[in-house]
Amino acid sequence: MKIAIGSDHGGFELKEVVKPLLVELGHEVEDVGCFSTDSVDYPQQAKQVASMVQDGKADRGILICGTGIGMSIVANRFKGIRATLCHELFTARMSRRHNDSNILCMGGRVIGPGLALEMVRVWLSTPFDGGRHSRRLCQIDHQEQDCA
Ligand code: RB5
């Protein structure tokens, strides 16, 4: 898969830990920054990654800020983006199974690298369950009667 990844200064160090894992797993990675711990404004990276996933220029996205909250707020304003803020393995797995998450958000000041790497592995390898969950996702953007 092609994976777009971005962070602000609060997520920079964790982003640098996650990138090699993505490459090791055989994914193509596009890093939209930031590229140091100098302070930046997280909406810039969030908008770039969300646009790439929305436009099909990336299959999935990963966004990391201090808490993951700002990144998820921004990314979820893009239609078709299902950005899920996860801090542990259960929600990382369920965000794929039930929500067909296409952007994983994490907090670089919340979780450590070991947990983050395991979450990324789980999030990348867990398929969407479909079925009733497809109907529910349809209802996010459409009327109930239009979602069988
Ligand atoms: C930056 O200080 C911090 O606000 C940002 O990384 C993020 O946590 C926002 O939600």
Q: Return the residue whose CA atom lies nearest to atom 3 of ligand 1.
A: 66
pLDDT of residue 62: 99
**Cβ atoms within 10 Å, residue 62:** 30
Straight-line distance from the first to the last Cα atom of the chain, in angstroms, rounded to the nearest whole number: 29
Q: What is the pTM of this model?
A: 0.98
What share of the chain has pLDDT > 90, as a percent? 99
Q: What is the pLDDT of residues 59-102, one digit of tens each?
A: 999 999 999 999 999 999 999 999 999 999 999 999 999 999 99
CB hemisphere CA count around 131 (13 angstroms): 6
Band the pLDDT of 45: cuts 50, 70, 90: very high
Q: Are 108 and 10 in contact (CB under 8 A)?
A: yes
Question: Which CATH number describes the domain made up of 2-146?
Answer: 3.40.1400.10
Q: Return the residue whose CA atom lies nearest to atom 9 of ligand 1.
A: 70
Closest among 28, 83, 86 to 58, alpha carbons compared: 28
Rounded to whole angstroms, the Cα distance separating 74 from 69 reads: 9
Q: Are 89 and 95 in contact (CB under 8 A)?
A: no
Question: What are the sequence ranges of the domains in the chain?
Answer: 2-146
Band the pLDDT of 148: cuts 50, 70, 90: confident
State the distance from the centre of ligand 1 to the C-alpha of 1, rounded, in angstroms: 28
